[in-house]
Amino acid sequence: MVLNPILAIVSLGQSDLPVTYNFDQPFTVLSEGQGYWGDGTYTVVGDILTGREFHGVLQFSGLISSINWSSSPDEYWHGITVGAAPVPEPGTMMLLGSGLIGLAGIARKKFRK
């Protein structure tokens, strides 16, 4: 499972042929842009994204184990990359916390003298 995964899309649809992705869960469009061959327009209705040469990044919220979608109509080429923001490990956070406590203790001793 991945927390808040992102999905980058390159070239969704064509300027004269809008293509629709129907996702199985809600998403937020984090960024958008136009492609080489068109203006990069898009619409979102519920969990459905329709693009005309759209480039963008979507984010899904929560712990996600899979992302499913269908596309219509068929298109010659789609570019998709899935990723996630790094989440700090509990051990790293404990080490950072104990280091900050140690620094606070040293500073307290210096100011008491």
Give the pLDDT confidence of 60-106 residue by residue, as tens digits: 999 999 999 999 998 888 788 888 766 656 666 666 666 667 666 65
Residue 91: the pLDDT is: 65
Residue 75: the pLDDT is: 85
Find the domain containing 22 and state its range: 2-88
Separation between Cα atoms, residue 69 and residue 21, nearest integer Å = 6
Residue 104 lies in a domain: no
Q: What is the DSSP letter of 73?
A: S
Q: What is the pLDDT of residues 18-35, one digit of tens each?
A: 999 999 999 999 999 877
Residue 113 lies in a domain: no
Separation between Cα atoms, residue 12 and residue 40, nearest integer Å = 8
pLDDT band at residue 59 under the 50/70/90 scheme: very high
Q: Is the pLDDT of residue 42 over 60?
A: yes
Pairing outcome for strands 79-83 and 63-64: unpaired
Q: Is the pLDDT of residue 7 over 90?
A: yes
Residue 107 lies in a domain: no
Q: What is the DSSP letter of 14?
A: B
pLDDT band at residue 8 under the 50/70/90 scheme: very high
Residue 34 lies in a domain: yes
Stronger pLDDT, 75 or 6, i.e. the higher one:
6
Residue 72 lies in a domain: yes
Residue 89: the pLDDT is: 64
Number of domains in the chain: 1
Joined tokens for residue 99: 């280091």
For residue 15, CA distances in Å to 54, 68, 77, 110 come to 9, 25, 14, 67
Residue 109 lies in a domain: no
Residue 39 lies in a domain: yes
Enter the pTM of the model.
Answer: 0.72
Residue 112 lies in a domain: no
Joined tokens for residue 62: 């929560």
